[in-house]
Amino acid sequence: MGRYRESNLTRNITFGILGLLGLIVASLYYQLYNLKSEFKAELAFAKGSGGTSDERLMSLQREVAQIKQDQSSAASTLARLEDRSSAVSQPTSPLNNVQITAVEGKLIREFLEKVHGLDPMVEAGYRVGDKIPNNRLLDFSILLTEKVPKLQNTKYTIDQKGSIIIVSEENRVVAILSTSR
């Protein structure tokens, strides 16, 4: 459960940082575009007015130099943030998938058939990682979790095809025992 939250937090922070960087780059691009337009207008004016054109040209050159410096600074900040986000360790899978052996699967199916009759509670088509509403889930019997300890801290539901869907504490599908019918 902790790794899943860590992964979501890391993902949220990474996307937040990338979104912020996107806004910074867009803002700098917008400023550069506006300055370029102003520069062209000032240059045209300077060419036409004669005497003060040197002063305006120097002023524009200073502004362009400042923009280049700001752009360089933004690029280095972006590179540092990208390095930090790639350095954060990402687990290979945010889910702790449950591996059920054939023997365990047969034991689970037989137990649930005797106790609940495997009445469908959800539509077919769920895959590992999908989220299932809590009101569609049942707890495994303590007797069954003693025989198959992997089922501790999990719940289950049955789909329309008779598959047993095993779900984590976060209501995410971690295993599907397909029907043998």
What is the per-residue pLDDT across 28-65, written as a single tens digit (0 to 9) for each?
A: 888 888 888 887 877 776 666 555 667 778 888 888 88
Each domain of the chain, given as residue ranges in start order, spans 2-87, 102-177
pTM exceeding 0.85: no
Confidence band (pLDDT; 50, 70, 90) for 146? very high
The pLDDT value given to residue 89: 41
141 pLDDT more than 50: yes
* DSSP bridge partners of 159: 122
**24 exposed, middle or buried (CB, 10 Å; 0-12, 13-18, 19+)?**
middle
What is the spatial distance between Cα 45 and Cα 24, in angstroms, rounded to a whole number?
31
At 85, list the tokens: 């986000």
At 28, list the tokens: 């700098």
Instruction: Give the mean pLDDT of 65-76.
Output: 79
The pLDDT value given to residue 1: 57
102-177 belongs to CATH 3.10.450: yes
151 pLDDT more than 90: yes
Check if the beta carbon of residue 172 is closer than 8 Å to that of residue 125.
Answer: no
Taking the CB of residue 93, how many other CB atoms lie within 10 A of it? 12
Q: What region, left, alpha or beta, does residue 112 occupy, with left being phi > 0 and alpha being psi -120 to 50 degrees?
A: alpha
